[in-house]
Structure 1
Amino acid sequence: MVFMYTRNSKLRGWWDPVRLIIWGPSAKLTATDPEIADHLAQMQKDGVEVWACKACADRYGVSEQLEKQGIQVLYVGAPFTEMLKEGWKSLTV
């Protein structure tokens, strides 16, 4: 559901910009599952910004793999807080 909504949000102009943030064990799944990586690569081509939490990715030992997928790996606590303060909408599942 998250992938479909995220991609369609960008393609249909529902939100701009559109950013997907990968947290927790999803970082490991993203780094190791080719199907997930393919979905994210397509979203990136469509213009979706994909970030991964560096603390989470480091914890699972996958920061380098995520960066190779073109995912921006960074500490997201402060940027995410700023996004919320600026009025960004957040969808979590």
Structure 2
Amino acid sequence: MREQDKLMVIWSSGDRDVALKVCFMYTNAAKKVKWFDEVNLIVWGPSAKLLCEDEELQEKLKMMQDNGVVVEACVNCAEMYGVADQLRDMGIDVKGMGKPLTERLKADWKQLNF
């Protein structure tokens, strides 16, 4: 797999419309339609809290996971919001994201931020 075939989407916005109408829609399509071979969604900051409060977002996230999107979350952010266990219960890999993010940036993954 070429590095160009890898996309990471950093979702940090606490805005529900950004999640539903931009971030989730594109991220899911990028994997489902095979625009990228590997697609990772990183839940970072206020998005962690929003996700845990919104059932519709949880349903959309599950659909993305079922389509092959790898979902990860920053453990420090999740703990600040008190939602780490809830995220894990959704099948999200909750971990330190500084090192993986840095490695991906240095490996020239494509990156989108919402």
- TM-score class, shorter-chain normalisation, is over 0.9
Could you state the TM-score of these two structures normalised by the residue count of structure 1? 0.97
CA distance in 1: counterparts of 2:58 and 2:24, whole angstroms:
11
CA shift, 1:12, in A, is 1.0
After superposition, give the CA deviation of every residue in 1:9-43 in whole Å (9 maximum; x if it has no partner): 00111112100001101101111211111110000
After the TM superposition, which parts of structure 1 deviate over 2 Å for at least 4 consecutive aligned residues? Answer: none
Residue 47 of structure 2: aligned partner: 26
Equivalent runs, 1:28-43 vs 2, <5 Å: 28-43=49-64
Which structure is higher in strand share? 2
Name the amino acid aligned to 1:66.
Answer: L
User: CA RMSD for the aligned pairs?
Assistant: 0.6
Residue 89 of structure 2: aligned partner: 68
Unaligned runs of 5+ in 1: none
Report sequence identity in percent: 49
Residue 80 of structure 1: aligned partner: 101
CA distance in 2: counterparts of 1:87 and 1:15, whole angstroms:
14
Could you state the TM-score of these two structures normalised by the residue count of structure 2? 0.80
Unaligned runs of 5+ in 2: 1-21
Residue 72 of structure 2: aligned partner: 51
